[in-house]
Structure 1
Amino acid sequence: MEDTAQSPPTRPSVLITGGSRGIGLAVAAALADTHHLLVGGRDREQLQTVCDGFPDAEPWPVDLADPGATAEAAAAIDTLDVMVHSAGVEAAGTVEELTREQWRSVLELNVVAVADLTRLLLPALRRASGQVVMINSGSGYFSTAGGGLYAASKFALRALTDALREEERGRVRVVSIHPGRVDTDMQRRIQGEEGYQPSDHMRPASVAQAVAMAVRTPPDAVVESLSIRPS
């Protein structure tokens, strides 16, 4: 008698950088029921703890500031449905205060590492007719006194995203998400001296739902850019 049993369908895969905390972790939780998760970060043990809490997840430990390690980790991915760039650093300081090294460090992580990882994974994304989701910021639209470095990195990320979208149109969908202030450890640390008010911030899960909506948009459409702010 012929065996008509079928293996379960393969889940679409998503790689989330910065996936062990904040918005990245919330995105992992929002997509966990429908996707195979590759949870990116630097601390393997922390990543494994996060992955143990999801039904179908594995750690993707890599220091994105290390080009060799990034290339090696990316080479192991043959097909990828979604790439969520959530890793990044914040910085504050006036132009007078900030050093050349601080400018280089922030731009390296928030722009150069994103561009490099995207370049490395484009073949895998094209095979799946996949999506790239950039977690940008409201600072990708405007800057404030003391916020020039962070905004410069996010303006540059927006330019990178816009160029990538046009270069890959018809092959890979490219999404830019611009959250306002989000209740994360990073924001608490940065704003501690101001008197932090969680009520003035969104939950990471709210941003993650916006990401999930963009990811689940049918393939004949793309959410090109989405601004989400505290209500």
Structure 2
Amino acid sequence: MDGRPIALITGGSRGVGAAVARELASTHELILGGRESTTLRAICDELGARPWAVELTDERAVAEAVAGIDRLDVLVHSAGTAHLGRVADLSVRQWRESFEVNVTAVAHLTRLLLPALRASRGQVVLINSGSGLRANPGWGAYAATKFALRAFADALRQEEEGNGLRVTSVFPGRVDTDLQRSVREQEGGAYEPEKYLNVASVARAVVTAVTASRDAHFTEIVIRPAAPPTA
């Protein structure tokens, strides 16, 4: 590492995570999390980042992977999964996987990295969702995890404020990502990227929170796609 602030981004190989990485590349040393893949290796090569290929639901693997990180300025949680379906139809496996990926893995990784974050009076950013503010039919499991993620962020913010940590929840509407394609397939609807947020727009909001002066703390950022112009 070259003395610049250090940022670890989960889900950093694609979507919002990759967009955040690109926005921070000029100012931060990057550690990009994701499953081992040519995609992860390609973006790390592009940005000069360190790959962090760890299965986030593997408790032991995560603990081993963070063992050498003693200082961290920014932790961005962007990895996630979405199982849609009515409460009457979702399986126990789908509920468990949703919470394991979207909540438990986030809490575990954050807990392990708290000493490194405290050392730099750092920042935790959680990419939440509009579903973390409201629940709709067919979105019960996903919304439950995102409500839980918001509660986690609120508790962490209050617990760590005395240590100088800032904790930001970002609540974007629909974003043009591979995950959104999966969501639309599950909904049985057309994929209409022109109606969705661009990943760069969400990333720039994250950068605003991360680069804010120390007297400012962006606790929550809500982003919605702008209405298309009328003829």
- The TM-score, its normalising length taken from structure 2, stands at 0.94
**Of 189, 194, 201, which aligns to 1:199?**
194
Partner of 1:57: 49
Distance 1:9 1:20 in 2: 22
**Of 121, 128, 131, which aligns to 1:129?**
121
Listed one character per residue, the Cα deviations across residues 121-150 of structure 1 (whole Å, up to 9, x for unaligned) are 000000000000000000001011100000
Distance 1:50 1:126 in 2: 28
Partner of 2:224: 229
**Of 99, 119, 123, which aligns to 1:107?**
99
Q: Which moved more, 1:124-133 or 1:196-205?
A: 196-205
- 8 A Cα contact 2:168 2:209, kept in partner: yes
Distance 1:23 1:98 in 2: 27
Q: Write the mapping of 1:26-41 to structure 2, written as runs, cut at 5 A.
A: 26-41=19-34
Distance 1:72 1:108 in 2: 19
Distance 1:46 1:185 in 2: 13
Task: Report how far residue 161 of structure 1 moved.
Answer: 0.3
Partner of 1:70: 62
- 8 A Cα contact 2:2 2:29, kept in partner: no
Q: Which amino acid aligns with 1:93?
A: G
Unaligned runs of 5+ in 2: 227-231
Distance 2:53 2:178 in 1: 21
**Does residue 18 of the first structure (1) align with residue 11 of the second (2)?**
yes
**Of 143, 148, 151, which aligns to 1:159?**
151
Instruction: Provide closer, same or farther for how the CA distance between residues 9 and 36 of structure 1 changes in structure 2, counting only shifts above 3 A.
Output: closer
- 8 A Cα contact 2:34 2:53, kept in partner: yes
Distance 1:44 1:60 in 2: 11
**Does residue 188 of the first structure (1) align with residue 188 of the second (2)?**
no
Q: Which moved more, 1:184-193 or 1:79-88?
A: 184-193
Listed one character per residue, the Cα deviations across residues 145-179 of structure 1 (whole Å, up to 9, x for unaligned) are 10000000000000000000000003211011000
Distance 1:11 1:122 in 2: 19
Distance 2:208 2:84 in 1: 31
Listed one character per residue, the Cα deviations across residues 23-44 of structure 1 (whole Å, up to 9, x for unaligned) are 0000000100100000001115
Identity %: 55
Partner of 1:209: 204
CA RMSD of aligned residues (A): 1.2
Unaligned runs of 5+ in 1: 1-7
Instruction: Provide closer, same or farther for how the CA distance between residues 44 and 191 of structure 1 changes in structure 2, counting only shifts above 3 A.
Output: closer
Q: Write the mapping of 1:160-175 to structure 2, written as runs, cut at 5 A.
A: 160-171=152-163, 172-175=165-168
- 8 A Cα contact 2:13 2:32, kept in partner: yes
Instruction: Provide closer, same or farther for how the CA distance between residues 36 and 184 of structure 1 changes in structure 2, counting only shifts above 3 A.
Output: same
Distance 2:35 2:60 in 1: 14
- 8 A Cα contact 1:44 1:59, kept in partner: no
Partner of 2:229: none
Task: Report how far residue 58 of structure 1 moved.
Answer: 0.8
Q: Which moved more, 1:205-214 or 1:218-227?
A: 218-227
Partner of 1:96: 88
Q: Which moved more, 1:186-195 or 1:220-229?
A: 186-195
